[in-house]
């Protein structure tokens, strides 16, 4: 099957396994406009691939994804049309992943931040390099954590634990992510992709209908629980995108980036 995707997201076919790679290594796989579109649209293409049975999702280079590309996010400050489109597309990323029928293994090879963190945690199995970490720094840049964290972390980990990390944006180490229930297990960096492939081979050998039906039922809990919180989260995130605090925090981040 031929995939219609930008270079920022690649799909490698290996028998029934599809290795999907976030491919902006020079930018630590930060999500720009083409990559955001690709993350929203790749799932339907994968579902249409009749030979695919399991997906591995990882990042090129040293990061899984550093979150939103700063230049792209800054463009929303004065472009409400692009801002609203990014929110609509962001919701599509989440809902398409929840509807996707095949098992997805995240091989989190490095930092998974913001949307990168949300995408990783939404996978069915999350394998993390023991040098990787998760973080959702939305609040730290003046935004509601609307693209996933505030809505679905409390479904996976105790609310009392998730609050502190969401409110502060602090990093969650691989070991702590497993303890909290945001990841499945850790691997040595050099073993991560190999371990993901070994698990993918096992899952590909499972009875297809039974495996997909089990995933569908499990995800019903997430989909039903997320209905209200996700809608409220995205609406609140849009509102904070126009706040003075958000503009100030982005300006400070851009100044820091320029001086490095």
Contact yes or no for 114/201 (Cβ under 8 A): no
Q: What CATH number has the domain bearing residue 150?
A: 3.90.226.10
- For residue range 148-189, what is the model confidence (pLDDT) as tens digits? 688 888 888 888 988 999 999 999 999 999 999 999 999 999
Nearby residues of 153 by Cβ (< 8 Å), 6 or more positions away: 121, 136, 162, 165, 166, 182
Within a 10 A sphere around the Cβ of 175, how many other Cβ atoms? 14
Query: Per the domain annotation, does 53 fall within a domain?
Result: yes
Instruction: State the residue range of the domain holding 129.
Output: 9-192+199-208
Tokens (6 digits) for 253:
């981040």
Query: Per the domain annotation, does 241 fall within a domain?
Result: no
> Residue 28 carries which DSSP code?
T
> Residue 31 carries which DSSP code?
B
Query: Per the domain annotation, does 66 fall within a domain?
Result: yes
**Terminal alpha carbon distance of the chain:** 43
- Residue 256 clears pLDDT 90, i.e. is over it: no
Using alpha carbons, list the distances in angstroms from residue 74 to 30, 32, 59, 241, 249: 13, 11, 23, 10, 10
Of the listed ranges 92-96, 166-170, 229-233, the least confidently predicted one is: 229-233
Query: Per the domain annotation, does 96 fall within a domain?
Result: yes
Contact yes or no for 199/17 (Cβ under 8 A): no
Query: Per the domain annotation, does 160 fall within a domain?
Result: yes
- Residue 115 clears pLDDT 90, i.e. is over it: yes
pLDDT > 70 in the chain, percent: 98
Domains in the chain, number: 1
Query: Per the domain annotation, does 184 fall within a domain?
Result: yes
- Residue 90 clears pLDDT 80, i.e. is over it: yes
Query: Per the domain annotation, does 15 fall within a domain?
Result: yes
Of the listed ranges 42-46, 90-94, 122-126, 152-156, the least confidently predicted one is: 152-156
pLDDT of residue 121: 96
pLDDT of residue 146: 75
Residue position matching structure tokens 């001086």: 259
10/225: higher pLDDT? 10
Query: Per the domain annotation, does 259 fall within a domain?
Result: no
- Residue 225 clears pLDDT 80, i.e. is over it: no
Contact yes or no for 120/108 (Cβ under 8 A): yes
pLDDT of residue 258: 52
- Residue 259 clears pLDDT 90, i.e. is over it: no
What confidence tier does 215 reach under pLDDT thresholds 50, 70, 90? very high
Mean pLDDT, the chain, whole residue set: 93
Residue 57 phi/psi, 5° resolution?
-115, 125
Residue position matching structure tokens 């964290």: 149
pLDDT of residue 226: 75
């Amino acid at each position: 099957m031929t995939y219609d995707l930008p270079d920022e997201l690649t799909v490698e076919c290996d028998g029934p396994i599809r290795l999907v790679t976030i491919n902006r290594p020079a930018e630590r796989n930060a999500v720009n406009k083409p990559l955001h579109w690709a993350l929203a649209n790749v799932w339907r293409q994968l579902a249409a691939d009749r030979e695919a049975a399991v997906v591995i999702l990882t990042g090129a280079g040293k990061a899984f994804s550093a979150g939103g590309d700063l230049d792209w996010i800054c463009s929303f400050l004065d472009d409400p049309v692009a801002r609203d489109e990014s929110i609509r597309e962001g919701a599509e990323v989440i809902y398409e992943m929840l509807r996707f029928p095949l098992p997805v293994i995240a091989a989190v090879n490095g930092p998974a931040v913001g949307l990168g963190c949300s995408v990783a945690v939404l996978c069915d199995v999350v394998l993390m390099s023991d040098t990787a970490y998760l973080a959702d720094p939305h609040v730290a840049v003046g935004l509601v954590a609307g693209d996933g964290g505030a809505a679905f972390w409390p479904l996976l980990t105790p609310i009392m634990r998730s609050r502190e990390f969401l409110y502060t944006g602090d990093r969650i180490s691989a070991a702590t992510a497993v303890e909290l229930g945001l990841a499945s297990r850790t691997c040595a960096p050099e073993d991560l992709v190999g371990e993901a492939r070994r698990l993918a081979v096992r899952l590909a050998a499972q009875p297809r209908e039974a495996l997909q039906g089990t995933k569908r039922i499990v995800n019903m809990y997430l989909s039903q629980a997320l209905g209200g919180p996700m809608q409220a989260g995205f609406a609140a995130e849009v509102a904070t995108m126009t706040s003075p605090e958000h503009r100030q925090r982005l300006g400070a981040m851009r100044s820091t980036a320029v001086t490095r």
